[in-house]
Amino acid sequence: MSISNVGSALYSDAVKALDTARKEGAARKGEVGTAVGSSSNQGDKVTISSRGNDLGRLVDLAKAAPEIRSERVAELKSALEDGSLKIDSRELAAKMFKEMALESW
């Protein structure tokens, strides 16, 4: 058993969730404006681009995602116990460094 493309699987899930969110919010195309101030005063106006909205939705989806995927943990635990789990330490280290580089970016 090998673990590969975990990052791309998470990215793929995030893109699918974002597409679903876009379809649900199809009625709100373009930019969303929010007026700040009292109802009698126009006040300042803040405009968020559709890309900003998309990023906000991705953050919300990431926060709502479970920290631990129990079914995946059970699979890995079973593979570890029966000796079928094979880990390429060089590949693991490379992925860890790549992830750390992305986080610092």
- Averaged pLDDT score across all residues of the chain: 77
Helix (H) or strand (E) holding 48: strand 45-48
pLDDT in tens, 24-59: 666 455 544 444 444 556 788 888 888 888 888 888
pLDDT beyond 90 at 96: yes
Q: Is 27 domain-assigned?
A: no
Q: To which residue do tokens 């693991």 refer?
A: 92
Whole domain around residue 79: which residue ranges?
6-22+43-104
For residue 96, being part of any structural domain is answered with yes
Give the pLDDT of residue 68: 85
31 is a domain residue? no
Q: What is the pLDDT of residue 75?
A: 94
Per the listing, tokens 């989806």 go with 61
Instruction: With respect to residue 29, please indicate whether it lies within any of the assigned structural domains.
Output: no
Q: Assess if residue 51 is contained within a domain.
A: yes
